[in-house]
Structure 1
C-alpha cells in the first residue's frame, strides 16, 4: 500500500493457493454483450443518510423515521408517484424494539402515502440491504412488479447488534451443532480470515489508515454528495477521523492475542438507505435515466468455521453468472467488515488493495448493518459514471457464514 509505509508481506499465501483450498472458486470466461429486455431490472437512483456514530447525531431518531426520510427523498428526487410503487423490500438485522414488526412497512405507512404497496423486511445479516436489492430486482425480472424500492435501516444505538438474541447465539444452537464456530463470533471470524490469508497486524493497520485516508479525500472532493440526504444537521459521515500508522499500531486488539483493533473493524453506526428499481421498459416510459442494470446476483453460504469468507465464495459464481472476468471489473467494493476481509479477497483474486474500495469503506464511513448494502450499490453505480467505467462488483460478508455479491453494469 504505497504512501502508507506498508509493503506486501513476503511468504503470504497466493491467490492460486487459496483457490486450491476452497473448491468452486474458478476464473470465469467473458460472455456476450448484454441485451436489455423489457423486464431487465435497472437502478434509477439511490440516497442515504450520512452514517452516524453509535450514540451520535442520529441516535435520537427512530429507525422508522430514518427510513421514511430516505424513502421520501428518493420519491422526491426521482419524481415517482408513490402509487406507482408495487413493492418495497427492506433490510434490517436486529429486528427488535422500534426496529421490529416489519420496520419497512411502518416506515412506508409513516409517509402517509397510498398504503397499497406491499412491504417486506428481511434479515441476511450484513448483506440485508444488498439482498433487499436482489429481491426487489428479482420481482421486476419475474414480472411480478414494475417499480420497486430496495431499502435498509439500522439504528445500532437504539437496537444494539445481538439484542434480538438476549440469551446469546449459543442459545440458538442444538446440542449436536456440527460446526467449529470462531471464539468471539465476528471478531474471531476476522482472525480466522487473517490466519487463512496470512495477514499480520501491520498489514491490517495499514489498511485501516488507507480506508480513513481515502474516505477523507472522497468526502472533501464531494464524491458522496450525490447520494447523501442530510438529517439531524449531519451532512457527512460521522465516523471519519484522522488516522496514522503509529497511532493505530498502539491500539490494543479486541481479542487477546488477536490482530484486529477498533481502527481495523467496521464502525457501529446508525443510518438508512433507499434505491429505486424499475423495469427497463418502465424507465423508458417514464423517461428516467438509469444508473446501471443488475447483471448478476448471488447469495451463497461459506464455510462456517471461517464465518467471514463470504466474498471469497460469492465472487466467482457471481462473475460466472454475469459472464465476465475478474480483470473486466472497473470498480470493486468489498465491505470492510474487518480489514482482513478485503485483504483476503485481494489475495484470492489477484487484485491490489489499491484497486478496491477507492473511496474508503465501513472502517471509516460506518456500517449500519441493514443500510450498508444500499450504500455500496449506489456508490458503485455512481463511481462507474464518474470514472467512465463499465462493470462493478459489490460483495459483502454476512453473519451466519454467507456472502452476497452483485455485478452492476453502467447505463
Structure 2
C-alpha cells in the first residue's frame, strides 16, 4: 500500500504576542483546514481528522473536532486531537499512514496548530482558597516548555547538555545566523509563500512569517544575554521562536489520489519514533533518522535534504555532527529559529517545506525530524519522484 502526501498548507507563523495574538489556536487551525478544503473539496468527507495541539488548557472537548467542523468538514467525519509535544504534528502523519496501510481508511486530514500567545494561566480553585492569594500556573510553560520527567525547563536541560557535548556559543550563534539568512532569502525569492495561506487579523492580512529577521548578524547575536542560566549559551537568538500558527495537510493512499485526479506532493517511504536513553533533546533527531534509515535500508548519503527542527540551534548542530550531515542539506530555507515553532503546528510544516523544496529541485528523498519533550524523537522519510 503506497501512501502519499496529497496536499498541504499553512498559515504564516506569527510572533509571540504579535499580529496573530487575537486569533485563537482553533481559529488558526480552521483557516488552514478551510483553505485545504478549497483545494481538495473531497476532503470534507475524509475518513478522519487527526490534528495536533500541545497547549489544550481551556480549549474545550477534542479541539481538533471543533477546528474541522468550523472549517467545513462533515459532521460524520471522526476527529482526534494528538499531543506528544513537539512531535505531535509529525505523529499525525505517521498515524494516518498506519490507518491507511491497515485499510481503515483512504484519506485523512492531518497536521496541527497552536497559539502560544493565548496559552492561559490556570489555578486549582475547586477546593477554594480560604486564605491568601491563589497560585496560578502558566500553561505555556507547564504544558509546552517544561520537561515533566526531569522537572526543569527545556532550556535549562539543553544548556546542561550543551556543556556535556562541548557545543559552544559561537557555533550556536553561527548556525542561528545561517537560519535567519536562509529564511530571508527564501522569503525574498517567494519559496515560503508557496506554503502559506494568509490570515486576517487587526484589519490586515498577514501573508508571511513574522519572525524572520533580515538584519541578523553574528556580532549582534553575540551581544545577547543567556536566557536560562547565567553561564549558559542559549539566547533568544539561537533558540526557536515562540509562535502562533497552523500547518495542515492530507495523507491518502496513492490509489485514492489517482481516483480523485490529484497529483500528490510526495510519497511516504518510512517513519520512526524513538525515546531515551535520557530526557535531553540534542541527539533525538539523529536517533530517529538512524532508525528510519535502518527500516528503509537506506543511508544518510541516499537522502537529498533534511528538515531538522531548530528547537535550539544546538539540537541541529549535535545531530548533524553525529551523522556527518553537511549543513548544505539541512533546513535550506531556514528553520524555527527564524520561521517560528508553534509546537503542534511545526511537524507538518517541516514536511511541507521539505516536499516543496524537493519538487523545486526536480525530485529526491528527504527526511523531516524533530526532538520532543521527555526525550523523544520522530522522523518521516518521503520521496518526490522525478515524474509521477
Query: What is the TM-score of this pair, normalised by structure 2?
Result: 0.89
Answering whether residue 50 of structure 2 is matched by residue 89 of structure 1, we say yes
The correspondence for 2:216, drawn from 239, 243, 251, is: 243
How far off its partner does 1:62 sit? 1.6
Q: Which residue of 1 aligns with 2:95?
A: 135
Written as runs of structure 1 = structure 2, the 5 A alignment for 1:140-289 is 140-159=100-119, 163-164=138-139, 181=150, 184-232=152-200, 233-241=205-213, 242-254=215-227, 255-289=229-263
Q: Which residue of 1 aligns with 2:39?
A: 77
Q: Which residue of 1 aligns with 2:12?
A: 50
Written as runs of structure 1 = structure 2, the 5 A alignment for 1:219-368 is 219-232=187-200, 233-241=205-213, 242-254=215-227, 255-368=229-342
Tell me the SS of whatever aligns to 1:300.
strand
Answering whether residue 23 of structure 2 is matched by residue 61 of structure 1, we say yes
* 1:347-396 per-position Cα deviation (integer Å, ceiling 9, x unaligned): 10012223311110000000000010010011111111111241101110
Tell me the SS of whatever aligns to 1:357.
coil
Q: Is the 8 A contact 2:54 2:86 kept in 1?
A: yes
* 1:202-222 per-position Cα deviation (integer Å, ceiling 9, x unaligned): 111111111100000000001
Distance 1:252 1:298, change over 3 A: same
Tell me the SS of whatever aligns to 1:264.
coil
Q: Which residue of 1 aligns with 2:134?
A: none
Instruction: List runs of 5+ in structure 1 lacking aligned partners.
Output: 1-38, 174-178
Q: Is the 8 A contact 1:300 1:314 kept in 2?
A: yes
How far off its partner does 1:407 sit? 0.5
* 1:280-332 per-position Cα deviation (integer Å, ceiling 9, x unaligned): 11111111111111111112102324244311221111111122110011011
Distance, in Å, in 2 between the alignment partners of 1:312 and 1:196 is: 17
Q: Is the 8 A contact 1:94 1:163 kept in 2?
A: no
Distance, in Å, in 1 between the alignment partners of 2:9 and 2:319 is: 27
- Structure 1 stretches of 4+ with a deviation exceeding 3 A read 160-169
Higher strand share: 2
* 1:82-138 per-position Cα deviation (integer Å, ceiling 9, x unaligned): 12x01010011111123x421110111213442011100011111110001111121
Tell me the SS of whatever aligns to 1:275.
strand
Distance 1:383 1:140, change over 3 A: same
Tell me the SS of whatever aligns to 2:190.
coil
Distance 1:163 1:136, change over 3 A: farther
Distance, in Å, in 2 between the alignment partners of 1:165 and 1:73 is: 28
Distance 1:384 1:160, change over 3 A: farther
Distance 1:246 1:160, change over 3 A: farther
Aligned length: 363
Answering whether residue 86 of structure 2 is matched by residue 114 of structure 1, we say no
Distance, in Å, in 2 between the alignment partners of 1:225 and 1:409 is: 22
Query: What is the TM-score of this pair, normalised by structure 1?
Result: 0.84
Tell me the SS of whatever aligns to 1:94.
coil
Instruction: List runs of 5+ in structure 2 lacking aligned partners.
Output: 122-136
Distance, in Å, in 1 between the alignment partners of 2:333 and 2:241 is: 16
Tell me the SS of whatever aligns to 1:289.
coil
Q: Which residue of 2 aligns with 1:19?
A: none
Distance, in Å, in 1 between the alignment partners of 2:319 and 2:143 is: 30
Tell me the SS of whatever aligns to 1:285.
helix
Q: Which residue of 2 aligns with 1:41?
A: 3
Distance, in Å, in 2 between the alignment partners of 1:349 and 1:332 is: 12
Q: Is the 8 A contact 2:282 2:314 kept in 1?
A: no
Distance 1:101 1:397, change over 3 A: same
